[in-house]
Each structure stands twice: as C-alpha cells, then as structure tokens.
Structure 1
Amino acid sequence: MPAADTLLSSVFGFPAFRPGQEEIVNAVIAGRNTLAIMPTGGGKSLCYQLPALAREGVTVVISPLIALMRDQVRALREAGVEAGALTSGNTEEETDAVFAALDENRLKLLYMAPERLASGGTLPLLRRIGTSLIAVDEAHCVSQWGHDFRPDYLRIGELRRALGVPLAAFTATADAETRSEIITRLFDGETPDTFLHGFDRPNIHLAFAAKDSPRRQILAFADARRGQSGIVYCATRAKTESLAKALSEDGHPACHYHGGMEPDARRAVEARFQQEDGLIVVATVAFGMGVDKPDIRWVAHADLPKSIEAYYQEIGRAGRDGAPAETLTLYGADDIRLRRAQIDEGLAPPERRAADHARLNALLGLAEAQKCRRESLLAYFGESGAACGNCDLCESPPELFDATEAVRKALSAILRTGEYFGSGHLTDILLGNETAKVRERGHDALPTFGVGKEFTRSQWQAIFRQMMAQDLVRPDPERHGALRMTEPARPILRGEESITLRKDTVKAAKSRPAAKMLVSEEDAPLLSALKAKRRALAEAAGFPAYMVFNDRTLIEMAEKRPATRDAMARITGVGATKLEKYGDAFLSVITGDAPAPEHPARRALSGRAAGGIYDELLKVQAELARGPDGLDKPMSCPAGLLAKVAALRDPDMGALERLLGAKRAERFGPAFFDVLQNA
C-alpha cells in the first residue's frame, strides 16, 4: 500500500502533516486502538481518511449527522477517493451505487449513522465487505452526561468486539471525565493509544465585549466583515429570528436556524450555508456538529455561551482551513444570571451542578481576563503559552484599578439587605438614590447608603458584573436572582485579600476595527478573481465552493502566483485529482493565459520530483536525437517510456537498459543515467 506521506501529498495536496497528525495516522495504520482528542479544525478527519487508503479492506466511519457525512463523501470524491454513505437521506439510486461499489471492492470508506447499528443486517454487511477498521467521529456523543449524547453510540463497543477490528475514536471536546467514559464504552476499559493534542488555534482572533446595545454591536461587527461567511450564536430561538431579520435589513445575506424549525427548513439552511459564499447564519447551538464548512471567517456570540467547552467548540467552527478568522463574544450581567439559573434549576445531581458552575466560572474568567485571552483559555485546558498577540487584550491591554474598597462596599450592601436584592437596587443604595423601593425598605438609613458616589451607575454595574464573573457573588434562583455572597468573597470583605478589576464601563464599547485583510492590498484583486472562478466552477458542479479549493489554498495561490502546473501542484490543498480537474482553470486566472498543452504522461508527474527529471531527460533526448555527432538516424522515446525512466528509484544501468531496450540504451543510456544520478 502507498506510504502515508505519499498519500498526504498526492491525494490531499498537503506538503506535511499538521502538528500531532503523523503520530495518530501511524497508530491507526498500524491497527492499534486509538483515541485522539484534537482541537476543532485540527485535522481530525484526515487522521482516519488517510489510514483508510493505506490499509487493506474497508474503513467504516460512524458519524452523527447526515449532512456532515454527505459533505465528507463529496469532498473525498472530489479528491479522487472512493467513498460512500448509507443514510436515511439517500435516494434509492445512491444506495444502489454504494452497494455496487462495495460488491466491486472499490469503496475504501463507508460512512453510516450510529442509528444504523440497531439494524439486524448491519453486522453481516460489515463482515461481508471486509471491514478492517472502525473510525468514530464525535466520540464524545457516547457520554451520557454530554449534551450531544446519542444512545446508539453505546452499540459501537459491541460492534468492535463482534468484528474483531481496531477502533479509532476522535473528538474535540473531551475532559477527563468524558475521556474515561469513552474508554469504558468504546474500548471496554482497556486504555487505547491516546493522543491529547494542543488546543491552540492561533489563526483565530479572540475578543469579548460587555453588552451595550448588543444588536448594534453585532451589526457593526458583521458590517466590517461584509461578504464573509459567519455564524452568530444566540441563547434563544426568538432572538435568532429577530437578529437574522435585522442583518437582512442591513443588506447581509442572512437566515436563522434553531431546533424549533421543521426538519426540511433546517436542512435548507444547512444546504444554503454550505453552498453560498458570504452567508450569515444566526443560530442557537442546534447549529452545531453538522457545521463542516472550512472557510467560515468569523463567529460571534450575541449571548454568553453556557461553558468554556461550549465556547471553545463554537468558536472552533471558524477558520478550519487555517486562514485567519475572528470571533466576538458579548456578555452581560443578565447572561450570568441566566446561565447560573439554568445550572441550578437543572435535574443534574449536586456534583454535576458544581462542575457546571466551575466550567461557567472558567468562561467568565476568560470574559473578564486582565491579560492575554489565549493564555487564559489554554491554561484551562492544561496548556501554557506566551502572550499571543492575536486577541483584543494583547492589542489593547485593559486599564486596571485596585477595586478592594469598592468590592467591600458592594458586599456590605448585599449583606446589610439580607441578600435579597439584585444589582440595580444595590446600586441605588450605594449611589444614595432615594427611590420609592429604597425608602419603603428603610435602606436609606443603612451605613452603606450613598457610600459609592465616586462611581457612576454604569461603573457600579460593571463592578457587579465582574464580581459575578469572579464568582464572588451569585444570583440566587430561589430569590428571583438576588445576589448572594460566596465563600471566596469573605477574605476580601474582611480586608485579608485585595482585588484588581478592569476599569471599563458599559459605555459604548469600541467596535472591533475592520476585518484584517486575508492577503496584502496588492494580492487582493487576484484573490477576488480566484474566488470568482471557484464560485463559477462550484455552481456548475452543484456543490459547495470550498470543495473546489478552500480559502487557505486560494490565499496561497494569490501570494505565490504559481505560473506552471508543477508550481501549482506545490500549493497546499492541490492534490493530483484536483490539479487535473482545476489546475489549468486557476493558472489561466493567475497568468492571464491558458497553460501550454502537455502530454498526459508529463501532466501525471506535475509537482513531483520526477516531473523535473522528465524535463531534463527531454532536453538530453533532443540533444542526442541524431546521435552525439548529429549525423545518425533520428530516434526518440515515447512520452510514457520517458515518464517511466523519470520515475525510476535507485536506478542502475542494467535496469535502465532493460527499460529502454538495446538501441535506445545505446543512444541515450549513459546520458539518461547521468541525469538520474544527479537528480
């Protein structure tokens, strides 16, 4: 079977593995049970697709979403790989085609949904077709505590035992608890080769902002990225609809998506998002695992996500092609109250609720971070790193102040009012506002009445928000969101510890600057032309534009401006099949001329070292066509024979003579041998 690095280049068009991929690929090819936890966009799919081509037999891929499977199958076919899917969404013709390919031993990857494992005919089918590997995508779906739990994932371990084949499980979201559950349920508790790779996505810009007219903030963020594909996540279904309408009225192609929509309507949005460049989908988290579009350039959260894991997974849908992407997360005190209440009012046992509060605390700590956000995010996942230079706090460090006295005043107001009031009423007390509510309860007589006049109302709201974010106070759902002091606040109240807060207010937040250019100003017109060509080819073929080439590949073309097929073959993402299908069309855009015609034997060597050797052999042949003195009868080698000579590995004169035959070996052999030795 072909070597892994050969397949990586010739099929997928990548010059090298991404960090961590090669070790996983080698483990899977070797047939070892494998568990890989990799960041979203870190190249998980390649880690089972490439081994499927390097191994005998069929690799069965169990994936949770039909849309995801169909997209991966189409992308593989575009790369020249025989793949198919058996799903409930198949037409009869599609299913017949898959079975025909299996019967003819052509298919290398067979995708199926976990629900198909319940069918009595699945196991006999998988035995008959020679299944040699099971790959499980989104393996965290086996966790019964996870929000993505799929009951049929529990059948996968039984399938592995019945087939007696290795299993490779992949996920981007698996804390220690979930990893343990995966090992128990998929591997019968026997620890597989486990790979936990870096969570850093350095191409994604991180930014948070306190809510201040959040609709205006989202519209401004989208406007600066007009024409780029993006996702806006919202906490409620109603908000997805109203915000999508506002974006549409502002001239953006936008649509909404949530779990309350009819299945056909949801599928229509999914299909439209995959097909269209520049579409914005405003969605709840229902728009989740099925998003496999590599050129999403931005993700915005109109509301605070429910946990740091959810935040990481959702922003990870941006920039999966490795090109620059941006994020913005809006948050406010109401978000914190909502998320706390959802945890406290849930049906989970106390230890699970405590863990969920801890996850929310980690996200709130990231939102109110006082230094590099990427450092804070990676630290949560157990990694360390220097300041990234690609987040809002690295670009514009926040102004800090010693907030010990302010926090003590706020805590005193909370305690002196019996922990029965929210931040609005507490702010009135601290500012000395004699509202009817303050007078009715006698709170104008408290020692804390009016002690906080050095701050404005918006500044006090920012202080309370940061206190909630640092878990010094929590909204109490049994007291309608009234703030209660937590244990970590007591040392501050007693004067035993100090605290520093950000000196921000909820005044109009500075909007993010215009989106960073994907290429230099000089290369921008060429990138636009390449995108137009990609869109035309994709529309003609009836599939998403990124399946021709993703943004990262087009950016590299615009920057490097390849002028030959050999140079084009060295662009990341241009494999042999795509070079043959699309190479000439994109070269025409770059050079302004149609590439000179080449013999098919030479075209097949494009981008390989053998291509350059072929050209040298062709020159030598021209020089010796009439012999060394130019007086002999003309002689040449067919292009196919020349290609075979160029592809010779570890050549010797004997092998060369057998390949050329006596007459051609006499004329060209020594000179060809010199070329091969010096290559």
Structure 2
Amino acid sequence: MALTKEQVLKQYFGYDKFRPLQADIIDWVLYGQDCMVLMPTGGGKSLCFQVPALMMQGITIVISPLIALMHDQVQALQANGIPSAYINSSLSGAERFAIERQCKAGEIKLLYISPEKLFSNGYLDWIKSLQVSMVAVDESHCVSVWGHDFRPEYTQLHVLKSALPNVPFMALTATADRVTRKDVLTQLGIPEARVFISSFDRPNLSLSVQPGRNRLKTIQKFIQERPRKAGIIYCLSRKNTEQLADSLLKVGISARCYHAGMSTDERAKVQDQFLRDDIQVICATIAFGMGIDKSNVRWVMHYSLPANIESFYQEIGRAGRDGVKADTLLFYSYNDLIVRKDMLAQSELPAEMKEVQLAKLDRLKQYAEAEICRRRILLSYFNEEVDRDCGNCDVCKNPPIRFDASVLAQKALSAIARTNERIAMGMLIDILRGSNNRRIIEHRYHEIKTFGAGRDLKYEEWADYIQQMLNSGIMDIAYDEQHAFKLNNASWSVLKDGKKVQLVRFRPFEEKQAEREANAAPKEKTKREVVRDELFERLRLLRKRIADNLDIPPFVVFSDATLSDMAQKKPISPAEMLNVSGVGEQKFRQYGDAFLKEIRDFIKTLGKSGGEKGDTAKISFSLYEEGLSLDEIAERRGLSPVTIVSHLVKFFEEGHPVDLRKFVTTVEFNAIAQAMKVLGTKKGEPVKPVFDLLQGKYDYHKIKVVMALLDK
C-alpha cells in the first residue's frame, strides 16, 4: 500500500506536519502540473519535491548549480534512508557509470545533476530514456538576467521542458521579485505555471545594522558572546577576508578565510572543516555559502555592504536554516555605498541593467538607514504585505517615536495617482515641493492638484518619508518601468478609506545608530534556559563524536533544531524520542539509543531543584532504572516516598516499564483494593478516605500504587 504524503513526511524526515503551502504544492505536482515555489532559505523548499519524489513512480531529476550543495543534499537524503545520487564533474567515470546503471534499474528516487552536465555528452537523451516523474530546478533565479546570480548555462533549461513535455516542472528559489519571477517562468518554458509564494518571513532571524566604525572590535565582542556557534562573515574583497580571519585568529577565535583566489583543494578543505564544526567562523567573499547545506549556522554578518536586497536576503538566509534562533548583522557606512557604486560604474553590464542595479542598491541603503521595522522593509521588497512590526530587529527593540503622517502620505500617493503611476522618486519630490523645472513643465505636472503641496519639507525629508512609505509597503516600485512608483491595495486604503500612516521623524543615520548602540543590552538567561542550553551542549558534543566517527558533517546526524527539541522535551524512551521533530525511523535506528542514554545521564545530574518542573519525575524514573529502592531514591533526592511513587506512577501510566507491584505485598494490595471497593473509590479521586478506612495502616504511596494497578 502506497504511503500518504503525511506518512512519508514522518517516516523519512521525522516531522509531524507540513509547513504552510508545502502540502498544497505537493498535491499540485502529484496532479502533474508545473509550478514555481518561492520560499525563504530554511523554509522547506526541498521537501516540496522530495516528498512527491518518494510517492511517484520513477525518478525525480533535480537541477542544481553547485557541486558542494548536491553532495550535502544527497548525503542528508541518504542519511534518511532515501535512495539518491548526483552526477557532476567531481565523479570518476566508474562512479558515474555505477549511478547511471542504478538510475536505469529504478534504484534511485532523486538524481541531482548540474546544468553543464545535463547538456554534455548526450546526457539529455539519456535522461529521456529514464522514467522521469518530475523535474525540479533549484536556485531558479539563476535563469533570469534580472536575478542576482544570473548563470548563462541555466538559460538552456527550456530545452529540457521541450524534451519532457508531460513531466511536471518545479522551479524553486528563495529570492525573486515580481520581474524576476515572470522572467524565470518564461525562460524555463512554463510561462503559465502556478506560482506558490510562501511568506518570505524568517522570524527566527534577528536583524541588526551598525555603523561601519570599529568593526573589528564589534565583531570580536559579537563572536565571544556566541561561543561555539558557527557563523559566516561576508566581505567585499579577498584581502578583507584574509586580514579579518588573521585578526580573529590572534584573539583566539577559530576562523579561516574563503575566496575564489584560493586553490580548489584549499577551498574544499576550509569548507569541509566548517561543515564538520571544526572551524567556528568563515570570513568569505560571496563565493562561499550558496554551495553548502549546513543547517546550524547560527549567525551571518556582512562586513561590507552587499550589492542588493536579493543578495543580502539570500546570504542572511544561510543562518538558522533549521528554524532555530539566529542573528544577522550588517555594517553600513557611506564609504561602502560609494565603493559599490564605483564597482557598478566600472562593470560591463548594459546601461539598463546598471540603472536597475543602482536602484536596487538604493533600496538596500534605505534598509540600512531605516527607522521602521527592518523585516517589513525586506518583506515589502518582495511584494509581501505586512501589517505589524516584527519585534526581532534592532529598530523594533529600540523603537523610535512616530508621528501621524497620514496627510503627508496622502499628498505623495495622490501625486503618484494623478501622474498615472509613471513617476520615480526625483520627479515625485519635485512635484510635491513645487519645482518649476523643465521636465515638470513638459509633462504639465505643475497643473495637478498636489503640485507644491509639500513645500514645507526639504528634499531630503521628503526622500526619507517616501522611502519609509515604500519600505513599509504603502506603495510599490517597478524597476522595469524606470523605477516608477505604483499604487497597491494599501495605497488606496490610505487615499480612500482614511487608513492611518505612522512614520518616524527624519534624523541623520549616524545619530539614529548611536542611540541604538547605547540602548543595546544583553538579556540574562532564565534557569530553564540555562538547563536547556547545558543539555543542548552535551547533545552537540555527542553529535560531533558520532559524526567524526562516521566521517560526515554533524548536522547530517541531527540538526540544531532537532537537538533543541530534544533538550526541551528530554525524551527518555523510544516513543518519546520518535516524537522529537526531525527524528525519523532511519535516524532513530542509527542514533536513537546513544542520544537517549545521554539525556538520561544528564537528567540524573540535575538534582533536587535542577531543571524544569517536569524534569523531577524523570530524575526519579532514571534512578529507578538504575535499580535503586524506593527509600534510596527518596533519600538521594530529599523527597518523600509518596512523591517518588507519584513520579513512578506517572511513568507507569505512560507505558514505561515500572514494576509497581514491588512496592506492595499481596496482603497490602488485597486490603487496599477491598477498601477502595467498599468506598467505590476510583483513580484520580482523593486517597484520604481509603487511608482513614484502613485506620492509617498503609501509607499514602501504597494506596496510590494500588489505584494505578487497578486502573490498568
């Protein structure tokens, strides 16, 4: 009998339920339809094609741009008991032939292949000879010239769709604005494909921006506050990566550089050490990151300003892929902005693309200088409407004072509407300030009602407020229409329905950031967090030992999210361990016993008052499993026998192996059972009436034991 998608999810991946949209996407593909999937990094894109691949007859082809990424993903699938492989230039002829034979024999469910390999040596004909169930194009933004990582070899992929017209195609990406999405679908030959857009929100990522001064001192402090937590620092130049890595090494931080100027072997060695948690920090150019599937990166920092919001979003998305809390920090200075503009001016891009990239760089500048929720800025960039602040960025944590800017916003939006949504920033400000320049007169914009309606504000003030409006989603921008502003549903709510608009008073960037730095303060951990983190660290070390013995990266054993759930739930039985998120049947068979033993050993160390409320029963049960008597457990823990028995009864009722009969003799059992029968006492009812009827001859804990036994 075929497995359902829910059964596949639990059995192979260890998850109890799908994330939003995943189930709908899987059903759509199973129905044989093409689609595009937009989900943030760490949002669960891979499951959208991996689950249906296991449900359909035949093989799923996954087009992937990077060799290292294929290796990591295939390794993770194989660890879950899923037959998968990859074909790329790193394989020998014998290795490739063996995989081809397996594919022909139907022994492989997912085959990862690079686009270069796909279109070489007649491979397309070979693919056509297989029983292909689906084609997934990962990192599909690489198809579009408007995307941030355009790759010419991707533009041939429409040939694959022509060769397999009846096979469903799935394009996947974490970063694509509206223009890029349309271009991707056209280039792939699936222009009418349904587009599934998940929320771009990554609430587990904290967002912060700091001024570019004293970067090294700030970086050292940041890392030292996060011991043993892996992170990436993105730099603009190779020299930056080398100097920064050397500086961190000198203060005892395990750091290495990574850039395209290093040999292939050097890069591979550094990447492998980072994957295996042997290096804490990678100082890298953008050559690093897209090719790894390391789920336990706990922070990403930008030493230098990225090129645009797409690149920035993609790079910070490499932190916290497992859904666990992660931090991001962007350093920003005016000099960084000038360097980026100079690089664009000197590039060989066509003039039209240079103009678009400059506009996108300006949006990143707005993000860095903003005094509104940074997450709202990122989400509105990808045309996602947000109606509340995130509470997890530096602006939200130190909120500025806002004012009612509804009238101001109405003036700007009205000007956009009255000019038929054809004007960009400069023209809009000129209209609002009543400038009588030649272009205004040519277009007769001096005749519209809102001309000069904002004379009271300076140019830079209007620019700041308009940027805030754009970043908060009150209006949109069309980069493919000379950056013209466009009205959306939120715009009309302001213009027609009187929706209120709150903005922040204009202030210079440095002044705002200095205030934010002064207000930043570390938060003390609660006792619960201390205990949880202590167990997490023990599980992390166990994971590292197991991974080293198996010669695999630690996150392939279990992700940080799974270890965190273990540390929270503290499972001590196979059933409880299988309820931990990310523990599937295959991984439980491989690693379950070792992690259960580590958790039990930890629980025994907590003592009388350690840990959370629910831990105390687990401590008693662990001591019972060691063979201690009831009195010995009570003495060891400084608790009454009644309390210890209540702990053991709880585990007995949950199905754990507890021999309660050893705590009462047959005579005691019969006497107590008879008294309960006389009184009609049932489980859960007060014990005292039974105690009184028996004239105090039997302790309360013996009565509780008999109650539990009779209930069973």
**What is the TM-score with the length of structure 1 in the denominator?**
0.71
Q: Within 2, Cα distance between the matches of 1:582 and 1:351?
A: 55
- Please give the secondary structure, in 1, of the residue aligned with 2:512: coil
- Please give the secondary structure, in 2, of the residue aligned with 1:67: helix
Q: What is the Cα deviation at residue 93 of structure 1? A: 5.1
- Please give the secondary structure, in 2, of the residue aligned with 1:370: coil
How many corresponding residue pairs?
Answer: 517
Q: Within 2, Cα distance between the matches of 1:590 and 1:353?
A: 56
Q: Within 2, Cα distance between the matches of 1:565 and 1:595?
A: 18
Which residue identity is paired with 1:281? I
Return 577-586 or 359-368, whichever deviates more. Answer: 359-368
Contact 1:228 1:277 survives alignment (8 Å): no
Alignment pair present for 1:305 and 2:314: no
Q: What is the aligned partner in structure 2 of residue 572 from structure 1?
A: 581
For residues 299-329 of structure 1, give each alpha carbon's deviation from its aligned partner in whole angstroms, at most 9, with x where no partner exists.
0111111111111111111000000000111
Q: Within 2, Cα distance between the matches of 1:112 and 1:249?
A: 41
Q: Within 2, Cα distance between the matches of 1:545 and 1:238?
A: 30
Q: Within 2, Cα distance between the matches of 1:515 and 1:284?
A: 32
Q: What is the aligned partner in structure 2 of residue 234 from structure 1?
A: 235
Indicate which of 579, 587, 591 corresponds to 2:596: 587
Alignment pair present for 1:529 and 2:535: no
Alignment pair present for 1:544 and 2:553: yes
- Please give the secondary structure, in 1, of the residue aligned with 2:531: coil
Q: What is the Cα deviation at residue 148 of structure 1? A: 2.2
Contact 2:37 2:173 survives alignment (8 Å): yes
Q: What is the Cα deviation at residue 37 of structure 1? A: 1.2
Q: CA separation of 1:47/1:506 partners in 2, compared to 1, >3 Å: closer, same or farther?
A: same
For residues 236-283 of structure 1, give each alpha carbon's deviation from its aligned partner in whole angstroms, at most 9, with x where no partner exists.
110010001111111111111112222222222221211125521001
Q: Within 1, Cα distance between the matches of 2:525 and 2:93?
A: 46
Q: What is the Cα deviation at residue 154 of structure 1? A: 2.1
Return 392-401 or 72-81, whichever deviates more. Answer: 392-401
Q: What is the aligned partner in structure 2 of residue 274 from structure 1?
A: 275
Q: What is the aligned partner in structure 1 of residue 196 from structure 2?
A: 195
For residues 511-565 of structure 1, give each alpha carbon's deviation from its aligned partner in whole angstroms, at most 9, with x where no partner exists.
9655887971122221111111111110010010000000010011011111111
Q: What is the aligned partner in structure 1 of residue 295 from structure 2?
A: 294
Q: What is the aligned partner in structure 2 of residue 373 from structure 1?
A: 374
Which residue identity is paired with 2:233? V
Q: CA separation of 1:498/1:144 partners in 2, compared to 1, >3 Å: closer, same or farther?
A: closer
Alignment pair present for 1:560 and 2:561: no
- Please give the secondary structure, in 2, of the residue aligned with 1:194: strand
In percent, how many aligned pairs have the same letter?
Answer: 39
Return 322-331 or 115-124, whichever deviates more. Answer: 115-124
Q: Within 2, Cα distance between the matches of 1:140 and 1:282?
A: 25
Contact 1:225 1:515 survives alignment (8 Å): no
Name structure 1 gaps, 5 residues minimum.
Answer: 402-462, 472-486, 489-496, 597-611, 620-679
Return 339-348 or 355-364, whichever deviates more. Answer: 339-348
- Please give the secondary structure, in 2, of the residue aligned with 1:225: coil
Contact 2:254 2:280 survives alignment (8 Å): yes
For residues 128-158 of structure 1, give each alpha carbon's deviation from its aligned partner in whole angstroms, at most 9, with x where no partner exists.
3312211110111111344422222222211
Q: Within 2, Cα distance between the matches of 1:62 and 1:81?
A: 18
Which residue identity is paired with 2:570? R
Contact 1:212 1:506 survives alignment (8 Å): no
Q: Within 1, Cα distance between the matches of 2:623 and 2:94?
A: 38
Q: What is the Cα deviation at residue 191 of structure 1? A: 1.1
Contact 1:209 1:329 survives alignment (8 Å): yes
Which residue identity is paired with 1:533? L
Which residue identity is paired with 2:344? I
Indicate which of 498, 506, 512 corresponds to 1:500: 506
Q: Within 2, Cα distance between the matches of 1:499 and 1:322?
A: 35
Alignment pair present for 1:172 and 2:178: no
Contact 1:117 1:152 survives alignment (8 Å): no
For residues 411-469 of structure 1, give each alpha carbon's deviation from its aligned partner in whole angstroms, at most 9, with x where no partner exists.
xxxxxxxxxxxxxxxxxxxxxxxxxxxxxxxxxxxxxxxxxxxxxxxxxxxx99x9899
Which residue identity is paired with 2:55? A
Q: What is the Cα deviation at residue 100 of structure 1? A: 3.8
Contact 2:398 2:516 survives alignment (8 Å): no
Task: Give matches, 1:68-217, under 5 Å.
Answer: 68-92=69-93, 94-164=95-165, 165-188=167-190, 190-217=191-218
Q: Within 1, Cα distance between the matches of 2:339 and 2:465?
A: 12
Q: What is the aligned partner in structure 1 of residue 347 from structure 2?
A: 346
Q: What is the aligned partner in structure 2 of residue 20 from structure 1?
A: 21
Q: CA separation of 1:158/1:246 partners in 2, compared to 1, >3 Å: closer, same or farther?
A: same
Q: Within 2, Cα distance between the matches of 1:137 and 1:515?
A: 39
Which residue identity is paired with 1:98? I
Q: CA separation of 1:536/1:88 partners in 2, compared to 1, >3 Å: closer, same or farther?
A: same
Q: Within 1, Cα distance between the matches of 2:65 and 2:523?
A: 34
Q: Within 2, Cα distance between the matches of 1:564 and 1:507?
A: 51
Which residue identity is paired with 2:20? P
Q: CA separation of 1:512/1:296 partners in 2, compared to 1, >3 Å: closer, same or farther?
A: farther
Q: CA separation of 1:595/1:158 partners in 2, compared to 1, >3 Å: closer, same or farther?
A: farther
Q: Within 2, Cα distance between the matches of 1:510 and 1:556?
A: 35
Contact 1:229 1:277 survives alignment (8 Å): no
Q: CA separation of 1:505/1:58 partners in 2, compared to 1, >3 Å: closer, same or farther?
A: closer
Contact 2:176 2:382 survives alignment (8 Å): no
Q: Within 2, Cα distance between the matches of 1:213 and 1:219?
A: 10
- Please give the secondary structure, in 2, of the residue aligned with 1:207: strand
For residues 95-126 of structure 1, give each alpha carbon's deviation from its aligned partner in whole angstroms, at most 9, with x where no partner exists.
34423422432110111111012223312322
Q: What is the Cα deviation at residue 569 of structure 1? A: 0.5
Q: CA separation of 1:516/1:345 partners in 2, compared to 1, >3 Å: closer, same or farther?
A: farther
Task: Give matches, 1:301-340, under 5 Å.
Answer: 301-340=302-341
Q: CA separation of 1:551/1:363 partners in 2, compared to 1, >3 Å: closer, same or farther?
A: same
Q: What is the Cα deviation at residue 343 of structure 1? A: 2.8
Q: CA RMSD in A?
A: 3.2
- Please give the secondary structure, in 2, of the residue aligned with 1:2: coil
Q: Within 2, Cα distance between the matches of 1:515 and 1:246?
A: 28
Return 141-150 or 204-213, whichever deviates more. Answer: 141-150
Q: Within 2, Cα distance between the matches of 1:200 and 1:523?
A: 27
Q: Within 1, Cα distance between the matches of 2:325 and 2:524?
A: 8
